[in-house]
Each structure stands twice: as structure tokens, then as C-alpha cells.
Structure 1
């Protein structure tokens, strides 16, 4: 409604301005026409009426000459005229040539102005409330020359009623044509814009509907994954427990081949258990249910503990994991369980993609007001075009059926969500064939660092 009112106000203002311009143009056209015809009248008067200069000087005139002057009131559309002396004093009025009234002998400011400027002056006036006047008439003051000599100032009266109507009609026709052209010029692009707007609205509605369907599908998928993961966790926990009890030798002594098969089954059960945990975390992330419980946490100590625990991961490949960072403490306001989960994920990826007998270097350092945890391996590396994509869910750089490394592609996506929930940042620098360095930056906790230093001094 407000938009419609604004448009109507705009058009109302446009119409008002157009009317004002049209009125000004009509008056100007009428004034020019009156000036032109008055000059023609003055030339005729000088050539055909004798002794006009004597009349302008106030000299007595013969009655026959006065009759000739009276005839001028019927030439060129003039119905009345006055003659002033060259200095602007009124000497003669055509409809009262013998008048000796108070108006004769007085100066006229318009006549004096014409005398000063040497140019004609025209005024269009309304005569409807004046006796013996047409509805619209013009008064033109102009200098009258005989050769190069100024002999008088004349004021001519002309009926402009018909002329004004004709000019208005002409301008109305021209204005209507211009308005039609402008309207047509506006309607063509406006029509195109309207069609485009309709298409955009329809496309937007279709996109919104598709978005709703996609969100519903994504929600259903997340709920399905969460339900299946919960259903898998219970029997998987029982399987792991049973395999662990068999491996302990409490129920039976196993020979070498049976023991190796049991170890393989236990290891695969552990991998499956980690996968189920990732799926559960993914479901929590999708529904916003992943809890973060931050507290003052020594990141350096946490990472060192995870490095010590990871030694048992795939010992057959003999990949060495070495901590090379500061010994700490380096405190951050973080959830220790979730940050440990991120560190374990980075460590397991580094070990997984390292060559047999390779090395993984882990460090924790203060860097630019943040705590940086870096895990560097010397494996196959990641192409630059894939370094952002690997943090997306269900993403594997090698997604073929013959890929060498297992995984659902959720670990880094979950890690990214956890780090960003701590107002941190996760990233990677890598080059194909030269290994990868994954890092996370966590805000440094100044108060916790001071408290930790005091505690260490007290213990010492």
C-alpha cells in the first residue's frame, strides 16, 4: 500500500510540474506572437499615418489626422492603443482621442522601461472582470522608430483568447504525443521487468520448496543415521567385549593363527566402533545436539597424552609418532574431551596416510595470541584443489572402490565443527608427494595460564 501511494504521489507531482511547464510555454508563445504583431503594427503606423511624432510630442492635431489614428485600432488584431512621448508621457488613447483626463500627461513605468532597454515588453492579462475587454488579452509596449529616430512609445492591446486556446491545443497535442512516446518507452521495459519479476518469484518459490524438501530429507537422513548408529552400538559393544575376553586367554588357549584372526577381528571391531561414534557425532551436529563444555584446559598436556596413547594404533606399520612442541602448560578455554577427539582424529589420519616406517611430528606452540596444534606427516599429500573439500562431510579424496584407506569421511568434518564451536580455526598445508600438516588454532586463555604458573610454583 505504501509503495502504491508513493507511485501515485510521484505521478501527481509529475502532472503538476507538466501543467506548470505547459502554462509557462503557452504564455511565452502568446507573448512572442503579440510582440511580433505589435512591431508589424508600429511599422504600418509610421508609414501610413502622418505626423505620429507630433502626436507623441503633444502638438495639436487636425481632426482628419486623428481619424487616421483611430483607424489603426482595427489593424493587425489591435483593438486599442496608446501613444507615449519618447520620454514615456501618455499623449493619446485610441478609444478616447479627445480625453483630457488625469491619465494623459502622466509617465508610465513600462513605457520608461522600454525607453531604457529599447526592447518590447508584453503582458498577458485576464479581462473577464474588466468592461469591454476580451477574456484574455495582451498589452505590448514597444518603441516606434521613423528610420533611426525614436518618435514614440506605443502600447497595443490585442485579443489573445483564440490564440491562447489554439496554442494550448497545439501544446496538448504535442504533449500527448510525447507522453504517449514516454509511456510506451516505459511500458516496454516495465513489461519485461514484470515478466522477469514473475519468473523470479516463481523460481524463488520453487527454490524454497526444494529447500524445504532438502531440509526434510537431510533431517530424515540424520535421524536415520542416528537411529542406526544407536542400534549398532549395543551389539558392537558386546562383540568387542567378547573378543577382548577371548584374546585375554581366560577361556581358552589359542594357537598362533587363531590368535592373529582374533586380533584382526578385534581391530576391525574397534574401527567399526569409531565409525559408529563418528556417525553419532554427525547426527548430533546435524541437529545441534553436540555438547561443548569448555573449561581451562592444558592443551600441551592433552596432546602429549594423546601422542602416548596413539602408539598402539596399527603397530604393524611401524610409524613413529613424536611430540616436538612446548611442554607447557598452554591453557585454552576448551572442552578437553572434544579437543582430544579432534587430536585423535588428526593423529589417526596422519598415521593412516604415512608410509611404512614413516614419522609423524606433533607440536603445540603459542602463535600470535593463539595456541596452535600441528600434526605433520610425510605421506601422499593433498592436491590444492581438495584442501578445502576434505573438511566437508562424507568426503574422501580417493572415492574409488580400490582406495587404500578406509573411513566414512566424517572425521575432519566433525573436527571442523568442534574447533569452530571453540571460536578456533582448522586448516591444512600440503603438497602432493610431500606430506601434509594439519593444524588447529585455539584462543589462548591468559588467566588460566597465570593460574597454572602459580600452581606449578606452589608444587615446586
Structure 2
């Protein structure tokens, strides 16, 4: 049963309301244990009550916040000027006297319904906040685990790789052909695991906001061809040709050269990995107004339109990629997107099944004064 506080100086109004509300509401009064000392759902008051108990009424409203605590004022029309000063501040609703019982019930039900809705909304918000807090705690635990596990894996991986390379180099004696093949497989998988550890560390730093970019002026017209030359070997076993096109003039951007190389490495590695044999991977650098754009196009298996929408999410792998049995974690493109966005750029893909894919990304051009043109972002 809803609890209604009657704070009325006029004895006739008090007796009338007691009669009308009896049995339908739990009526309480100020000055008793059930008054201001206990919660109530609605206060019905008159001008004398507002004048004498204004501070207590305001304190009760503040204590109820953010839940709505309604105050209904009963006043004669002669007090219209006074009501105008207090309506919306000390009180929420007005009913002129003499009182119409049907109108009073309508106002009471309306105000109590608003309070119940406010209570339900507040409870929902509390539950939602608890869920968000729990999710934040889980995300923090996950990030901490990834960070700790990645760091703990790095040392033994480095040792394994070092000793495998020493054996492959013949530092502990000659190897027969089969032994060399086995060790070569071990070395390749150690490198894959090392790359996974690096990817997990990058993701951990990104989600915690600890990944930073050391930006400076770089010429994509030089950086891109150099990185492409270093990575051509990845396509040699499939006889993939690489075409690099850059404009004759410098394409100077403000970016982190190491992160630009990481972006190029991720995208070019994918292009070679998913391209068909004896095809061409094309890399094009161009000006696009206030940004420089790099397009990396392959003639590979392509990506469905449905998968393109989620392609740059973490741990997502397109259906065509999963069916190809080519290994991967689904982290490379997510990390690439984050690195591009961290440097105030954009990245997108255009693709069709069995027709290849083109990954395009931009970086803001540097002005003559060494500032980024267009909107600026901080790392």
C-alpha cells in the first residue's frame, strides 16, 4: 500500500482527506515515527505546511533523489501569486480548493504512478550499473591475464627460437635433411607463436589506453616501397608479383614510422596469404585532399558483404578465410584498424567473393609548418 504524508494546516482539509483516503492508502503525519523519519511515496500539503516545513520537505526530496518524490499542493485561488513562486520548486502538482474528490484521486494516482515508474527506472539503472561494473571487472581481469601471460611467454619463446636457430645454423654439429626440415617447422611455428604474443600485447595496450604513437614527419612515398621490398619474399613461393605505385612528389604525413610499418606488414601479409598463385598484389599511394591514402589490392579469395561489416573486429575471421584452412587469430586487422585510428586515419575494405579485396587506409597530411591538416587527434 502506498504511503501518503498529510501535511495540512487546515483542519477541515485534513479531516476530509482522511475520510476519502481511508483504506486505500497508508496515511502518515509529520512529527510521528512514520512521518519524515520513514519513507513516503507522496506528500499532500498546503501553503502553511510549505512555509513551516520547507527545509524538511526539501531534505526529503534530496534524500529520495534520483527517485521522484511527488508533492501535491492544495491551495485556494486567492493564493495564486504565492503558488506561482513555489510550483515546480517546492511542489510538483497543484489542486485548487475547494477539493473535487474525483480530481483528487486522479492527481494522486497519476503522481504515484510516476513515482513507481521512477522507482522501476532507478532499479533498472542500478542493475545495469552492476552489470557494467561486473563487465569492467571481467575485462580488467582479461587484460591483466593477457598482459601477464604474454610477458611470461616472451622469455621462453626467445630462448627456444635462439637455440633452434643455433642448431639450424650448424653450431652444434651437422644436420641431415630430415632433421633440418623438422627444425625449420619448429622455427616457423615459434615465430607464429611469437607474433601471437606480440598481437595479444598490442590488444592489451589498446584496451587499457597504454598504446602510444611517436609521430613525426615521414614520406609515404619512401616508407611504403621500402616495406614492400622487405615483404616481397612472402609471396615468392606462390609466384605473386608486387606492383608499387607512388606519386613523384613527396607524400609527407605525421605518423609513427614503426606503426606505419606494422600496418603495412599486417595488410601485405594478408594479401599474400589469401592471394591465388601467380597473381598480383598492387600497392598504391595517393593524395586525397587533406589525407594521404594507401590502397592494397589482391586477387585472392575475397570476402562476402556480410563478413565485411565485422572484418575489423577483434577475433573475427571471415567465413571464406575459415574455410580456406589458413591459420590466423583474427587479431591482425583489428590491431591494424586501431593503429590507423590512433593516428587520426580511417580504414575500410572493398571486396567480392573470388574477385579479391582492396584495403584502403588514410593518414592526415602534414602542413608546411609540421602540423596535421584536418582534425587533430591525440595518442
- Shorter-chain TM-score above 0.5: yes
Residue 337 of structure 2 is matched in structure 1 by: 416
Going from structure 1 to structure 2, the CA distance change for 1:448 and 1:431 (only over 3 Å counts) comes to farther
Whether contact under 8 Å (2:307, 2:319) holds in the other structure is no
Whether contact under 8 Å (2:70, 2:111) holds in the other structure is no
- Distance in 1 (alpha carbons) for counterparts of 2:321 and 2:259: 31
Aligned residues: 296
Whether contact under 8 Å (1:321, 1:359) holds in the other structure is yes
2:217 to 288, 293, 296: 296
Gaps in structure 1 of 5+ consecutive residues:
21-170, 451-460
- Distance in 2 (alpha carbons) for counterparts of 1:10 and 1:325: 77
Residue 355 of structure 1 is matched in structure 2 by: 276
Q: CA deviation at 1:261?
A: 2.6
1:371 aligns with 2:299: no
Counterparts of 1:260-299 in structure 2, within 5 Å, are 260-299=181-220
Q: CA deviation at 1:181?
A: 2.7
DSSP 3-state at the match of 2:335: helix
Residue 30 of structure 2 is matched in structure 1 by: none
1:333 to 237, 254, 266: 254
Higher helix proportion (structure 1 or 2): 1
Whether contact under 8 Å (1:301, 1:328) holds in the other structure is no
Q: CA deviation at 1:354?
A: 1.1
1:209 aligns with 2:92: no
CA-based RMSD of the aligned residues comes to 3.2
1:16 to 71, 79, 84: 79
Going from structure 1 to structure 2, the CA distance change for 1:259 and 1:192 (only over 3 Å counts) comes to same
Q: TM-score, normalised by structure 2?
A: 0.70
Q: TM-score, normalised by structure 1?
A: 0.58
Going from structure 1 to structure 2, the CA distance change for 1:11 and 1:438 (only over 3 Å counts) comes to farther
Q: CA deviation at 1:402?
A: 6.1
- Distance in 2 (alpha carbons) for counterparts of 1:271 and 1:319: 22
Residue 156 of structure 1 is matched in structure 2 by: none
Whether contact under 8 Å (1:301, 1:327) holds in the other structure is no
Whether contact under 8 Å (1:370, 1:442) holds in the other structure is yes
Whether contact under 8 Å (1:275, 1:407) holds in the other structure is no
1:229 to 150, 155, 163: 150
DSSP 3-state at the match of 2:237: helix
Comparing 8-17 with 285-294, which one deviates more in the overlay?
8-17
Comparing 180-189 with 280-289, which one deviates more in the overlay?
180-189
Q: CA deviation at 1:264?
A: 2.3
1:441 aligns with 2:359: no
Comparing 243-252 with 6-15, which one deviates more in the overlay?
6-15
2:233 to 299, 302, 312: 312
Residue 89 of structure 2 is matched in structure 1 by: none
Going from structure 1 to structure 2, the CA distance change for 1:14 and 1:414 (only over 3 Å counts) comes to farther
The structure number with the bigger radius of gyration is: 1
Going from structure 1 to structure 2, the CA distance change for 1:225 and 1:13 (only over 3 Å counts) comes to farther
Whether contact under 8 Å (2:219, 2:252) holds in the other structure is yes
1:383 to 304, 307, 320: 304
